[in-house]
Chains A and B, each alone.
Chain A
Amino acid sequence: MKTSHRKKIKLALRYIAVVALTILFLFPIYWLFMISFKTANEIYAYPPVWWPETLQLSNYRVLFEDGDAATVGNSLIVAGVSTIFAMILGTICAYSLARFKTGGEHLANWIISQRMIPPIAIVFPVFLLYVWFGMVDTYFGLILLYTAFNLPYVIWMMRGYIMDIPISLEQAALVDGYTRWQVVWKVVFPMCRAGLFATAIFTFVFAWNDFIFALVLTRTDVATYTVQVTHYFGGQSNFWGKISAMSVLGTLPIFFIVAFMQKYLVRGISLGAVKG
């Protein structure tokens, strides 16, 4: 068989496999989204309905009317603010580690080890502390925790990105008369923009999707959407409409971010592996 024919057949087979895999992996997401648009009758129809008669938004309306949708807002506040804090503080710390080797190997290793502690082991002590200080179910408390938990990741990643930037740019700026702080803001931050984006996305998504920290540290005021979803799990009757609608509300923003920042996300994961 001619090589070119063989190649075409191989390509066709690969394509079929790729399409099949994509369908397989996307099916659960499709199902989730689809349920959120179904009426109660359709949801609890037997055999299961694969495509709703009409796309109706009553499940969503309920969430907004009950005020449950506000939990997405909580997620946004908590994840957004903690990401900003973690990125700023973490990057300047990373700069110190990268350029001045502050604290040497020991500090770097200690920082990365902080990320390896299982959340449950962190959240329990933190919970005790928060109870003492009355910080349970507060924005500040949750933001503080997310910031702290994400710092090691940010520091580690940004350190790698900064080390890739040639130091000559900063030296030139210093010679030009910039102060060291100015060099950080005006030279370093812009130069590692790509790394900043990728790391920020990861940090945000991590905080956004977190469950266990929010479960322990929130009650009613600051409940994030992940916690809210589990409120609809009942003993016998799960409020599937609400579960799926709430899930979609919480997942859609992330999908948009991924769609727009897809390039950075993929680069972030791959570079993360190389640097890790």
Chain B
Amino acid sequence: MAGTIALRKGPATAAPGRAATTEQPWIKWLLVAVTLIFLTLFLFVPLLAVFTEALRKGLGAYFASFNEPAALAAVKLTLITAAIAVPLNLVFGLAAAWSIAKFNFRGKSLLITLIDLPFAVSPVISGLIYVLLFGLQGWLGPWLAEHDVKIIFAVPGIVLATIFVTFPFVARELIPLMQEQGSEEEQAALVLGANGWQTFWRVTLPNVKWALLYGVILCNARAMGEFGAVSVVSGHIRGKTNTIPLHVEILYNEYHFVAAFAVASLLAILALLTLVAKSLVEWKARQQANIDLEPIPAEES
């Protein structure tokens, strides 16, 4: 789920000597230990297992797993899906955040709730919505079949489902930030003679760029890794409508363990890269926030 960029400095470090609110040392160590054990069991071990299993038969077998038409097609489809879904959600998210943060209108809180809907419903339901809409027995199915447009069990369905599932990431990052910033800077730009376009590029966008990038990174990770919604609409046609996660499932079900784990390792690497990128952006955003929070120097009089 989407985190929020920490734009505020943490509390100041406690003064030396145990304050009245500090716990006993053993409680601290116990909590740290529990967290570490949990992370090891549920994160590091599985991650390690993915790479061990993938490399069980050596590097040759590992790379051979990718050099296969079905695997390449899955990688290609995943990249295409992300390449369509992420830019669209960047635009949608920016538009939604803008309208919520800068304008007042009826039904605003309803809109905020709706933006969160994809997080609230099970991804399977998200996929099913599109089957019910565009499937052969769906509302628009007969009309689509008549005009020879394929959405379900085809690439458009996968892209639609992915867009739906990843919609909140960008919007949720931007809304709190833009609400906090208000619209006075935009008004100042307009008074100074800037047109709407100049105001957007020179004032609005630079003020939210780090939050936007953060949202895009998370959105991309989810777009590439989505399983449930895509699984429902894909139809699992090998070499045609399989994304990387679906391809992994098929390989595994067919007992191609090395290939399954090798392809899965791609997703694991993507996850690691996402974490690195996310941390970088967070660090950068915090740097900027620190400039904003720098204490005001004494008045020079």
- Verify that A and B bind, or say they do not: no
